[in-house]
Amino acid sequence: MRQIETKAGKRWRCIKSIEATKQGKLAREAFGRQTTAINKAEAQSKARIVLNAER
C-alpha cells in the first residue's frame, strides 16, 4: 500500500493498482474487475462460515 495525493486528499492505494493505471485504462479496469471478484468470493465464503456457525 502506498499513500498518494488525490483531488479529495490523501488516499491509500494498492501498489498493483497504481501500476495498472500506468498501463492504461483497460489494464486498470481489468485489475479492478479481478479484485472485485476476489473480494466478492471472500465475502461470500465468510458469510457461509458465519451462517454455518449459527446453526
pLDDT for 55 beyond 80: no
pLDDT at site 21:
86
pLDDT at site 54:
74
pLDDT tens figures, 8-53: 999 998 898 889 889 999 998 999 999 999 999 999 999 999 988 8
pTM of the model: 0.67
- CA 28 to CA 25: how far, in whole Å? 5
Q: What is the DSSP string of 6-43?
A: ETTEEEEE-HHHHHHHHT-HHHHHHHHHHHHHHHHHHH
pLDDT at site 45:
96
